[in-house]
Amino acid sequence: MAGPSPSPHKPRRKAAAKRAGGNHDSSSSRPITADAHIMKPSFPLAAFLWPARGTTSQWELLPLILMAVGLFRWAAGLWGYSGFEKPPMFGDYEAQRHWMEITTQLPVSQWYFHDLPWWGLDYPPLTAYHSWLCGKIGSLIDPSWFALYTSRGSNDQTLKIFMRGTVVVSEYLIYIPAVVVFVRRFSRLSGVANWTASVALVAILMQPATILIDHVHFQYNTVMLGFVLASMSSMLAGRYLWSAVFFVAALGFKQMALYYAFSVFAYLLGNCLFPRVNVARFIGIATVTAISFAILILPLVLGTFSDVRRGIDARPDLDGPHPPLPLFPWIVNYMDTEAFYYPIVEQMVQMVHRVFPFARGLFEDKVANFWCALNLVVKLKQYPSELLQRAALVATLASIIPPNLILFFRPNKLLLPLAFATTAWGFFLFSYQVHEKSVLLPLMPMTVLLAGKHGLGKDMRAWVGFANLLGCWTMFPLLQRVELRVPYAVLTLLWAYLVGLPPTSLSAYFADGSSLWAQWGTALVHGAFYLAMGMWHVLEMFLKPPADKPDLWVVANVGVGAVGFSLCYLWCLGKLVVESDILPRSWVGKKGKSKTL
């Protein structure tokens, strides 16, 4: 005899729980806290979005999210910018404006040669094309903004509005769509509910470091980061040819995208070889990559050919025979300088020379990476430049090979953010000519972990939040030089509050079900850093450094930051090892955590 039919109310209760963001138990994604009778948000950002937990379509909530994060970006832009009324060079804002000037006012062949001491163009061609487009649009409003020579150092308020607008529009065309699509795909692959993914999306888009650098200090880093995210998103969708196209675009916009190149190569090659060899896929990826690079440089090549035919000199400031280019001075011994193709070779060599500044030394400014920290103990500038270049190469390779070997042999989609973050941390800590703003590159893939399984859980929030707040803190000396203390404090403390992080909350620590030793260890380590960061701010504000040590506080910032970022690298690498299932099963505990970590 058949048993009683199941209650029709049970499936409805499950569906309701799913709409509330609980497609796992409370420990899986951790946007809520559950007891026997009550479900409630466990951190403020989840509380703000709590009324939307029953939303069945992302299109009901997404427009509100995009408007809110856009408002914060525009409000942040009301502050000053890098170089505001700071002669003689006027900072990064002037550099970006100047590139719009030279790309719209000069022949293409002169872009990489013109007046190099005054913010000479030193980014790949896609940045130049972007500057040209923005400059053309701006010239329709006011041609004086980009008049050759006479517009230098302009602080026109209408120009500032236009420049701020170009950052916002560029971000909403490239970066924000890429984040939305990536979060949607990654959360679905990880089994995360729509509402939980929406909470993660807000946390990612409100990341303080990107807003501070691009919308306050002034740059276009999110365009490059958007192309990288689009490449990662294409990998999640199995669209490997598009992944190659988007990554070439990222490299074409900023050479710093090379931080991710090993991971892109490892993942795509791994998918060509495992679980079985796919020659057609390999040939397709290689062909599309080569075509994409060719299309990238085509406008520069055609423009140079056109200038040569019109008798335009790429280096008009030099009289008589041009000296050989510094990158390959011997090239004139093997090539006919009168050949029709020589101007193209000259352009390519000059572009590479400008994009990769090996002549600048191991580092120029004080950055919280290994080399600057080591320089506090051993003065590195006493060693030959060639030796330092080799040391940086060896150390960088040693740090990035392990994560990329894992990604190559385990080309798992869910491992992409961890592998990208670990590799980028390795580059940031050990590579040549690192800038403070380069910390945005490891922070981006580490932050998108919030959209994955357990992404809003306490342990993940604690580490992702620690990396972001430490990254902002290490950029403070850069920001305070241009009087940006207030937006720094507002944006970092606001993000810490929304995500439930110190110094506003301790809710990201002491998760249920995890090892007590791990909980206390994480809390004590992070607490020590948060305490050091807070004390540093107090000392820096009220106590002048000794006359014989004027950089004391910056040096302390470098040392603490380098140690903290090294911990972030080790955490990402450890998580990658565990999640890749590359360890023997006997080494891993019941909950999937390595007994050795």
Q: Which residues pair with 34 in a beta bridge?
A: 39
Least confident of 72-86, 287-301, 313-327: 313-327
Give 50-89 pLDDT, tens digit per residue.
888 876 677 788 999 999 999 999 999 999 999 988 888 8
Supply the DSSP symbol for 139. Answer: H
Give 379-434 pLDDT, tens digit per residue.
888 888 889 889 999 999 999 999 999 999 999 999 999 999 999 999 999 998 88
Q: Is the pTM of this model over 0.75?
A: yes
Preceding peptide of 88 cis, ω within 30°: yes
- List all residues 6 or more positions away from 569 whose beta carbon is below 8 Å from its beta carbon: 399, 422, 425, 426, 429, 442
Nearest to 73 by CA among 178, 213, 177: 213
Residue 22 has a pLDDT of 39
Give 156-190 pLDDT, tens digit per residue.
999 999 999 999 999 999 999 999 999 999 999 99
Distance of alpha carbon 471 from alpha carbon 466, whole angstroms: 8
Residue 325 has a pLDDT of 64
In the structure encoding, which two tokens stand for residue 158, read together?
Answer: 């209408």
Distance of alpha carbon 270 from alpha carbon 277, whole angstroms: 9
Residue 434 has a pLDDT of 84
Please, is 484 exposed, middle or buried when counting C-beta atoms within 10 Å of its C-beta (0-12, 13-18, 19+)? Answer: buried
